[in-house]
Amino acid sequence: MTDAHDPVLHTLQAYAAAVLAKDVEALVALYDDDVHLFDMWSDWSMRGIEPWRAMVRDWFGSLGDERVVVGIDQAQATLGADLAIGHAILSYTAFAANGERLRSLNNRITLGLARRDGGWKIVHEHTSAPIEHRTTKAILQRE
């Protein structure tokens, strides 16, 4: 299957481009208005596009002149006529304005997409990281 025919991979690539550009509206446009998100950070879950838009705006605003490169690994999808589900390992690497690598973390993402108005929109997103049993701390670096 080519990238053009895989709505999950295509969506992840658009996600990575929007994050790099720190383009709030481009990122939010990937999501359905009634999206339900289980994000790794802060809130237990979010329902609806406006809480997600606020979170993305805060995230991008917190970066200052840094840029974040999102890497996509092990992306897989199962496609139906109007629904798609997929998962991948994402890496988020922050770079200073001068190109210096600042920090990086990995997480797991699962997406549920639905066909909406001739295109695909994320209707459910779940991000996670494994928890180290002894310390109960998230493991943010994939080995």
Q: What is the pLDDT of residues 2-41, one digit of tens each?
A: 455 899 999 999 999 999 999 999 999 999 999 999 987 7
Pull the structure tokens for residue 81. Answer: 């006529």
Using 50, 70 and 90 to split pLDDT, how confident is the model at 83? Answer: very high
pLDDT per residue over 45-80, tens digit each?
889 999 999 999 999 999 999 999 999 999 999 999
Fold of the 3-128 domain? Nuclear Transport Factor 2; Chain: A, (3.10.450)
So where are the chain's domains?
3-128
DSSP assignment of the chain equals: --GGG-HHHHHHHHHHHHHHHT-HHHHHTTEEEEEEEE-SSSSS-EESHHHHHHHHHHHHHHTTT-EEEEEEEEEEEEE-SSEEEEEEEEEEEEE-TTS-EEEEEEEEEEEEEEEETTEEEEEEEEEE--B-TTT--B--S--
